[in-house]
């Protein structure tokens, strides 16, 4: 069990250890696992979006089990209330007083399954938690324990009994990771593993909270970002607001997320103490794809069910234009 982290090279080792354990249970989503680690180590939240049956919930659970952290799962339903997430004050007849019973949001890693099935007022209960890492109930504010991370799942093809997520909610997610169908080889490997070991799962916690907090501090304080890279990030985000196809471009919050994700990528993937333009480009799609709203241009094809193909093309064009 890793209890402390003292160098950038150790952050890369933590990343590899978590990736290796998760990949032994979940096949075909190595890039998604890496992005989850980047978000965890930079204070971000993640939206896992994809069609049913692609292991979104399973991946989130295996990932959290690899960490020695408190984990809670919330299953979203149309009748889910804000108090079901934040908790509420309950009258105790013994003490003749109201006592606060904390909700499942009081954990280090919280999985919000099928977040778009929760009504808007319940989704709104997450805004303060995600932005300020605190909860206010009946006028009393309580800080959440660090590290805190929200992982939400979303099914993009089912609309009955769901609610559209507003841009303000989406903007609080550092990244949206797309989990549609894995490559053919991954399908075969899934079947082999299921055939060999059935439902057997024995995930060991690898990293303590103290080590993750140390890693966060190292990334924040030791990863250097030059003025050129800051200009590059700002220009990339600003460029999305000038696109003729865009109704809504990326916000300053997106620029901050892009900066933090780039620093996380440099540390976890390259084991480097500085950020390059390649790092920024590597995370740009995950950070920007849920923050752009494009104009409708005729009927969409099945492969463009919710604008992903168009958005990917627009982001690639933006990155190319800014990089040239």
Angle at 40 between CA 118 and CA 267, to 5 degrees: 150
Euclidean distance between CA atoms 269 and 283, whole angstroms? 11
Euclidean distance between CA atoms 314 and 324, whole angstroms? 15
For position 307, what pLDDT does the model report?
66
For position 150, what pLDDT does the model report?
98
Do 266 and 275 meet the contact criterion of CB atoms below 8 Å apart? yes
For position 298, what pLDDT does the model report?
58
- 108 prior amide bond cis, ω within 30: no
Fold of 223-323: Helicase, Ruva Protein; domain 3 (1.10.8)
For position 106, what pLDDT does the model report?
96
0.85 cut: is pTM over it? Answer: yes
**Which listed CATH number (3.40.50.1100, 3.30.530.20, 3.40.50.300, 1.25.50.10) goes with 8-208?**
3.40.50.300
First to last CA, the chain: 45
- Tell me the mean pLDDT per 10 residues along the chain, length 324: 92 94 92 97 96 92 96 96 93 87 96 95 94 92 95 87 89 94 85 78 92 96 97 96 87 96 96 96 96 74 59 90 86
Ordered by start, the domain boundaries in the chain are 8-208, 223-323
Q: Tell me the torsion sign for CA atoms 137, 142, 143, 148.
A: negative
For position 308, what pLDDT does the model report?
79
């Amino acid at each position: 069990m890793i209890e402390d982290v003292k160098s950038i090279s150790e952050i890369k080792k933590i990343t590899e250890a978590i990736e290796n354990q998760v990949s032994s249970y979940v096949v075909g989503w190595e890039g998604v696992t890496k992005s989850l680690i980047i978000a965890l180590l930079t204070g971000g939240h993640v939206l896992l979006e994809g069609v049913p049956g692609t292991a979104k919930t399973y991946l989130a659970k295996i990932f959290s089990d690899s960490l020695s952290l408190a984990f809670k799962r919330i299953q979203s339903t149309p009748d889910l209330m804000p108090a079901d997430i934040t908790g509420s004050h309950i009258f105790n007849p013994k003490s003749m007083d109201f006592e606060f019973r904390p909700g499942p949001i009081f954990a280090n890693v919280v999985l919000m399954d099928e977040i778009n099935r929760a009504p808007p007022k319940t989704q709104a209960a997450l805004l303060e938690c995600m932005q300020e890492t605190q909860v206010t109930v009946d006028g009393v504010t309580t800080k959440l324990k660090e590290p805190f991370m929200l992982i939400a799942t979303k099914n993009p093809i089912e609309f009955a009994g769901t609610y559209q997520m507003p841009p303000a909610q989406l903007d609080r997610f550092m990244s949206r990771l797309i989990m549609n169908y894995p490559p053919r080889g991954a399908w075969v490997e899934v079947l082999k593993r299921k055939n060999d070991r059935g439902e057997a799962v024995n995930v060991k916690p690898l990293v303590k909270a103290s080590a993750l907090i140390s890693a966060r501090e190292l990334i924040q304080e030791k990863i250097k970002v030059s003025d050129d890279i800051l200009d590059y990030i700002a220009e990339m985000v600003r460029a999305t607001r000038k696109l003729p196809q865009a109704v809504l471009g990326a916000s300053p919050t997106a620029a901050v997320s892009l900066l933090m994700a780039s620093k996380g990528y440099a540390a976890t993937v390259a084991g480097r103490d500085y950020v390059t333009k390649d790092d920024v480009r590597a995370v740009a799609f995950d950070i920007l794809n849920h923050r752009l709203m494009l104009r409708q241009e005729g009927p969409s094809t099945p492969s463009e069910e919710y604008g992903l193909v168009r958005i990917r093309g627009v982001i690639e064009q933006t990155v190319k234009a800014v990089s040239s």
